[in-house]
Structure 1
Amino acid sequence: MDTENWRERYSKAMMGSLGSPLVMLERGEGAHVWDVDGNRYLDFLAGIAVNALGHAHPVLVEAVSRQVATLAHVSNYFASPPQLELAERLRRITGAGDAGRVFFANSGAEAIEAAIKLARLNRGDGRRTRILSLINSFHGRTMGSLSLTGKIALRRDFEPLLPGIEHIDTTIAALEAAMDDTVAAIFIEPIKGEAGVLDLPEGFLQRARELATENGALLILDEIQTGVGRTGTWFAFQQTGVLPDALTLAKGIAGGVPIGALITFGAASDLFQPGQHGSTFGGNPLATAAGNAVLGEIERAGLIENAWRIGAKLHAIVEAIDSPLISEVRGQGALLGLGLTQPVAGALSAAAFAHGLIINAPNDSSIRIAPPLIIGDAEFEEFRDKFTRALQTITSDAK
Structure 2
Amino acid sequence: MTHEELVKLDHQYTLQTYGRFDVDIDHGKGARLWDLAGKEYVDFTAGIGTASVGYGNERWAKAITDQALKLGHISNLFYNQPYARLAQTLCQRSGMAGAFFGNSGAESNEGAIKLARKYSFDKYGKGRGTILTLKNSFHGRTVTTLAATGQDVFHNYFFPFTDGFRYAEPTMDGISEVAGHDVCAVMLELVQGEGGVFPMDKAFVHDLAVLCAERDWLLLVDEVQTGVGRTGTLFCFQQYGILPDAVTFAKGIAGGLPMGGFLVSERCRGVLGPGTHASTFGGNPVCAAAALEVQEILDDAALEQVAEKGQYLRRGIEALELPCLGKTRGLGLMIGVEVAEGHTNKELAAKLMDAGLLVLTAGHNVLRLLPPLTITREEIDEGLAIMARVFGE
213 and 199 in structure 1: CA distance in 2 versus 1, 3 angstrom threshold:
same
| Residue type of the alignment partner of 1:294 | V
| Residue type of the alignment partner of 1:57 | N
| Residue of structure 1 in register with 2:106 after alignment | 109
Deviations 1:341-383 (A, max 9, x none): 2251111111110110011111341010111111222112201
Q: What's the % identity of the aligned pairs?
A: 36
> 2:311 and 2:109 mapped to 1: Cα distance?
31
205 and 327 in structure 1: CA distance in 2 versus 1, 3 angstrom threshold:
same
- RMSD value over aligned CA atoms? 1.4
Q: Post-superposition shift, 1:202?
A: 4.0
> 2:383 and 2:20 mapped to 1: Cα distance?
25
> 1:390 and 1:349 mapped to 2: Cα distance?
11
Contact 1:183 1:215 in 2 (8 A): no
> 1:303 and 1:4 mapped to 2: Cα distance?
40
Deviations 1:113-168 (A, max 9, x none): 11111121122323422111111111110111111111212121112111111111
Q: Post-superposition shift, 1:262?
A: 1.0
Contact 1:232 1:306 in 2 (8 A): yes
> 1:74 and 1:81 mapped to 2: Cα distance?
11
Q: Post-superposition shift, 1:176?
A: 2.8
| Residue type of the alignment partner of 1:33 | L
| Residue of structure 1 in register with 2:7 after alignment | 7
| Residue of structure 2 in register with 1:330 after alignment | 329
| Residue type of the alignment partner of 1:67 | Q
> 1:377 and 1:334 mapped to 2: Cα distance?
13
What is the correspondence of 1:126-275 to structure 2 with a 5 Å cutoff? Answer: 126=125, 127-275=127-275
Instruction: Give unmatched runs, 5+ long, in structure 1.
Output: 394-399
Q: What TM-score does the superposition give when structure 2 sets the normalisation length?
A: 0.96
Contact 1:45 1:371 in 2 (8 A): yes
SS at 1:61 equivalent: helix
Say which is worse superposed, 152-161 or 257-266, in terms of deviation: 152-161
Stretches (4+) displaced over 3 A: none
What is the correspondence of 1:27-176 to structure 2 with a 5 Å cutoff? Answer: 27-96=27-96, 100-123=97-120, 124-126=123-125, 127-176=127-176
SS at 2:257 equivalent: coil
| Residue type of the alignment partner of 2:337 | L
Contact 1:176 1:211 in 2 (8 A): no
Contact 1:345 1:363 in 2 (8 A): no
| Residue type of the alignment partner of 1:318 | I
| Residue type of the alignment partner of 1:104 | F
| Residue type of the alignment partner of 2:318 | E
| Residue type of the alignment partner of 1:93 | R
Deviations 1:70-112 (A, max 9, x none): 101001111211110001111111111xxx1111001111111
SS at 1:166 equivalent: strand
| Residue of structure 2 in register with 1:396 after alignment | none
> 2:50 and 2:4 mapped to 1: Cα distance?
29
> 2:364 and 2:161 mapped to 1: Cα distance?
27
Q: What TM-score does the superposition give when structure 1 sets the normalisation length?
A: 0.95
Contact 1:346 1:364 in 2 (8 A): no
Contact 1:3 1:36 in 2 (8 A): yes
| Residue of structure 2 in register with 1:397 after alignment | none
> 1:135 and 1:240 mapped to 2: Cα distance?
20
The total of aligned residue pairs comes to: 389
Say which is worse superposed, 32-41 or 335-344, in terms of deviation: 335-344
Contact 2:130 2:185 in 1 (8 A): yes
> 2:158 and 2:135 mapped to 1: Cα distance?
17
| Residue of structure 2 in register with 1:318 after alignment | 317
> 1:165 and 1:390 mapped to 2: Cα distance?
44
Q: Post-superposition shift, 1:212?
A: 0.7
| Residue type of the alignment partner of 1:336 | I
Contact 2:197 2:368 in 1 (8 A): yes
> 1:181 and 1:93 mapped to 2: Cα distance?
35
| Residue of structure 2 in register with 1:386 after alignment | 386
> 2:73 and 2:319 mapped to 1: Cα distance?
50
> 1:286 and 1:172 mapped to 2: Cα distance?
43
SS at 1:187 equivalent: strand
